[in-house]
Amino acid sequence: VEDVVTIAARLSEIRRQIAEAATSAGRSPSDVTLVAVSKKHPAASIREAYAAGQRDFGENYAQELVEKREQLADLDDLRWHFIGALQSNKARFVVPGTVLIHAVDRISVAEALSKRAVAAGTVARLLIEVNVGREASKAGVPAANVSTLIDSFSALPGVQSVGLMCIPPPGASDEHFEALRALRDHLSPRFPALALLSMGMTSDFPSAIRHGATHVRVGTAIFGART
Ligand SMILES: *Cc1c(COP(=O)(O)O)cnc(C)c1O
């Protein structure tokens, strides 16, 4: 059966769900940024989402980001987010040219981003990926080490730690979202720039919004399954 549901229709349904979740939590829908995760989908699909009013897009792979940024260079108010695991030697692909780098969890990457940002005369805004559940197989820094990491990032020119990010294990989203929010609230008196919470994907974004997400990263529900 051919999939006749358009990207525009899916986007409008997701916007409705975002508004509903925000309102039910006493928040304003405008406090939540929808990052459309376009990895492994063609530039044409991004154009379709853009035509439907979407402006924030997330990519996981540096090379793919570079290619799409070139193919879509005419869309000059499109905002790119880098949401994948970044290797230090790929820093030049994401700075400049992204508004937010979502998953930084080590000093070597922050140092590489710092060098690029200083050279480009810009500031790279970073989110720290937290391994909330301390899962051995997962990326991210344990919650107990986040403040030390932010301190070491603070010593670097050209980078700013502006929030936290997590990818919870299946079935445990609620407690992880709440823990990430509590960690942000605990740290933000000491680090006033630490305001953003990037959490929630296709399967759990309404819950993330109820727990305070400022950025939700939704791919499948907008673009369909990835091949
Ligand atoms: C792929 C990806 C997403 C989007 O996942 P969906 O389940 O397709 O919404 C969100 N965040 C990260 C870090 C991803 O890698």
For residue range 142-199, what is the model confidence (pLDDT) as tens digits?
A: 999 999 999 999 999 999 999 999 999 888 899 999 999 999 999 999 999 999 999 9
| Residue carrying structure tokens 């009013």 | 53
| The predicted structure's pLDDT at residue 3 | 61
| The predicted structure's pLDDT at residue 136 | 76
CA of 99 to the centre of ligand 1 (A): 18
The pick from 13, 83, 216 for probing ligand 1's pocket by mutation, whose C-beta has the most ligand atoms within 8 angstroms, reads 83
Query: Is the CB of residue 131 less than 8 Å from the CB of residue 85?
Result: no
| The predicted structure's pLDDT at residue 77 | 97
* Tens digit of each residue's pLDDT (9 = 90 or more) over 66-117: 999 999 999 999 999 999 999 999 999 999 999 999 999 999 999 999 999 9
Distance CA 221, CA 54 (A): 14
Q: Is 143 helix (H, G, I), strand (E, B) or coil?
A: helix
pTM above 0.95, yes or no: yes
* Tens digit of each residue's pLDDT (9 = 90 or more) over 27-68: 999 999 999 999 999 999 999 999 999 999 999 999 999 999
| Cis peptide bond N-terminal to 168, omega within 30 | no
CA of 187 to the centre of ligand 1 (A): 26
Distance CA 177, CA 165 (A): 9
Distance CA 101, CA 124 (A): 8
Give the DSSP per-residue string, 115-130.
HHHHHHT--EEEEEEB
| The predicted structure's pLDDT at residue 160 | 98
Atom 13 of ligand 1, nearest CA residue: 83
Residues 6+ apart with CB under 8 A from 129: 102, 103, 104, 105, 139, 140, 141, 164, 165, 166, 167
The binding-site residues of ligand 1, defined as CB within 6 angstroms of any ligand atom, are: 37, 39, 60, 83, 167, 201-202, 217-220
Give the distance between the most distant pair of CA atoms in the chain.
Answer: 56
Distance CA 130, CA 33 (A): 20
For 11, 75, 184, the CA distances from 8, given in Å and listed in that order, are 5, 17, 34
